[in-house]
Amino acid sequence: MNILVIGSGGREHTIVWKMAQSSLVDKIFCAPGNAGIAELAECLEVETDNLSGLLEIARHNSIDCTIVGPEVPLSLGIVDLFEDNGYPIFGPRRKAAEIESSKVFAKQIMNKYHIPTARSQDFEDYYEALSYLEKQSFPLVIKADGLAAGKGVIITKDRFEAELALGKIMKERKFGEAGRRVLIEEFLTGEEVSMLVFSDGRNILPMITSQDHKKIGDNDEGLNTGGMGAYSPVPFFGEKEREFVLTRIFQPVISSLEREGRLFKGVLYAGLIITKEGPKVLEFNARFGDPETQVILPGLKTDLMEIILSSINGTLDRVNPVWSKQFTVCVIMTSEGYPGEYVSGKTITGLEKLNEREDIIVFHSGTKKDDGKTVTSGGRVLGITAWSDTLKGAIDKAYQGVDEIYFEGCYYRKDIGKKGLHFLRNAN
């Protein structure tokens, strides 16, 4: 089979890496790709929002199956376009992908079908939103309705901060049209967990759990980012919680979307928080997470292509995936200044030192080739991923890998996996 992977980040590098291991795959194309992906696939310089250009790639290269990485092409309807032209593609159609592209729509679905989530109110009028704040207790969470690259969620500890957040989103339009509507939501306390499932529209197939680290600074301080690292599986998320989430959250959402005429095929991601009342949904994504993918897929022993084809064909109930029992950790290395302004074009050294390691892999995000050198080309640059029989072993190996790599201004969190490690130590 000829495969096309759409995207250019660490998530897509991980998918391409997994596709390269499949006995069903002959050749991999990626648009637009990055320096790491280019070692495994033929990269084509077509951006992810250029749907007609991506369809032309499929036609010109006899693509048998396309896998969509990022959220933007899904929200624009790439699956509708490819399917309508007879090209198999993995991901939800535009109306189903709205579960991610509109936080207000996602909340409406959750409220209508009694899926546990935070109380909230949505607004299109800035002054109505301001007035609503007068009667609320803090902290509160202010969310831009649309896609904002993981940065459109602002936690506010008092009314002053909430008014600033509303002004930034609704008046300054920091996130563009994504901020045309906002969601004002109660603040929930507890540990966050990411859980993803494959779906064929009716059946679901759960993946192993992971925990993302969204804040830029150690101990979860500072601004929100696209994700600074992750580990998997999560030791404090047990079988009881897993069963609850599958039966009370995932299956009802998939069934309700079908009922609403929005059949969901692909990967459904739930950002969960474990409250005193049990797990609740913070957000849904309509695709693989980043960096969660970098710690989930290395643990998948079953051929990923087999699962993807079953999702497309509606036969997921026939698949019984096998997962590793090892722990996996990913540490993200970023450009100086991220998630704000940063400078690209910095030479990356040390990558070759990890090429022969069988327990560490470097997934590229914001990288490109320049004059034969690998240089930075984004905010999140590399994901150093390692696995071991113990969480501590995986953490130690990942940071050993980080120590081997250098580029000017590189930054990374030093506490990835710490919460899981703390739980395990207390449990023993």
Q: What is the CATH number of the domain that holds 66?
A: 3.40.50.20
- Please state, in angstroms and rounded to a whole number, the distance separating the CA atoms of residues 428 and 424: 6
Does a structural domain hold residue 16?
A: yes
Confidence at residue 326, expressed as pLDDT on a 0 to 100 scale: 98
| Residue 139: partners with Cβ closer than 8 Å, 6 or more residues away | 155, 156, 157, 158, 187
Confidence at residue 338, expressed as pLDDT on a 0 to 100 scale: 96
Does a structural domain hold residue 198?
A: yes
pLDDT greater than 90 at residue 8: yes
Find the mean pLDDT for residues 270-281: 96
To the nearest whole percent, how much of the chain has pLDDT over 90?
Answer: 95
Lowest mean pLDDT among 7-21, 168-182, 375-389: 168-182
Task: Give the confidence band of 356 by pLDDT, cuts at 50, 70, 90.
Answer: confident
Q: How many domains does the chain have?
A: 4
pLDDT greater than 80 at residue 150: no
Confidence at residue 276, expressed as pLDDT on a 0 to 100 scale: 94
Find the mean pLDDT for residues 50-56: 98
The last residue of a domain, from among 297, 318, 339 = 318
Does a structural domain hold residue 260?
A: yes
| Residue 218: partners with Cβ closer than 8 Å, 6 or more residues away | 413, 414, 415
Task: Specify whether 313 is located in the same domain as 357.
Answer: no
Say if CB 199 and CB 266 are below 8 A apart: yes
What is the residue range of 412's domain?
327-427
Confidence at residue 224, expressed as pLDDT on a 0 to 100 scale: 86
pLDDT, tens digit, 9 for 90 and up, residues 375-419: 999 999 999 999 999 999 999 999 999 999 999 999 999 999 999
In the predicted model, what is the mean pLDDT of the chain?
96
pLDDT greater than 90 at residue 260: yes
Confidence at residue 304, expressed as pLDDT on a 0 to 100 scale: 98
Task: Specify whether 414 is located in the same domain as 372.
Answer: yes
- Please state, in angstroms and rounded to a whole number, the distance separating the CA atoms of residues 47 and 8: 9
To the nearest whole percent, how much of the chain has pLDDT over 70?
Answer: 100
From the number of C-beta atoms within 10 Å of its C-beta (0-12, 13-18, 19+), residue 215 rates as: middle
Task: Specify whether 331 is located in the same domain as 399.
Answer: yes
Phi and psi at residue 415, to the nearest 5° = -125, 25
Tokens of 81: 């376009």
Find the mean pLDDT for residues 63-81: 97
Task: Give the confidence band of 149 by pLDDT, cuts at 50, 70, 90.
Answer: confident
